[in-house]
Amino acid sequence: MGTNELQFTKLVKEQKNNIYTVCLMFANDNDDVEDLVQLTLVNLWKGFKNFEGRSSIGTWVWRVAMNTCITADRKKKRRRQHEDVVDTLGLKEVKTDAADDRQVQQLYSRIRRLGVFDRAIVLLWLENLSYDEIGAIVGITPKNVGVRLVRIRQQLKEME
């Protein structure tokens, strides 16, 4: 393996949990998660040699993963509109090992009903990123992150 391949392999090993987490929040089932992870890895590889270091490598990975998932989500919606297909299956629940399985599944279900941008902010917040880091990834100010999180929390509380 060349130097680039070794560096990329190291990056993927270090960031695999973050990549998986982003893909999980945008997927309907395990097959979708796998597809999104593969798409993300392809996009990371394509952009790896052009990474300029203007942000941390972790921030760059988050951003590529989020943009990949958002783009895939939009394409899927467009495809449904063009085919005039109604999704009658709904969302499959994400399996967790937590004792409070039902509450976790309910939270995931509510988060999935948020808009793409709000879903991204919640995901990053759940990963304990600072408002500065979240703002850098999604392209808004840290103050705006705080305002949006307050509004998102209210939305989640009001959902049934």
121-144, pLDDT tens digit by residue?
988 888 888 999 899 988 999 999
Same fold, 1-91 and 93-160: no
Question: Where do the structural domains in the chain lie, given as residue ranges?
Answer: 1-91, 93-160
Q: What is 1-91's CATH topology?
A: Rna Polymerase Sigma Factor; Chain: A (1.10.1740)
| 111-125 residues labelled b (16+ CB within 10 A) or e (exposed) | beebeeebbbbbbbb
C-alpha 158/C-alpha 160 separation (Å) is: 7
Q: What is 93-160's CATH topology?
A: Arc Repressor Mutant, subunit A (1.10.10)
47, 55 Cβ separation under 8 angstroms? no
88-104, pLDDT tens digit by residue?
334 344 444 544 677 77
80 or 32: which leads in pLDDT: 32
33-68, pLDDT tens digit by residue?
999 999 999 999 999 988 888 888 988 999 999 999
C-alpha 77/C-alpha 152 separation (Å) is: 23
What does the pLDDT read at residue 28? 82
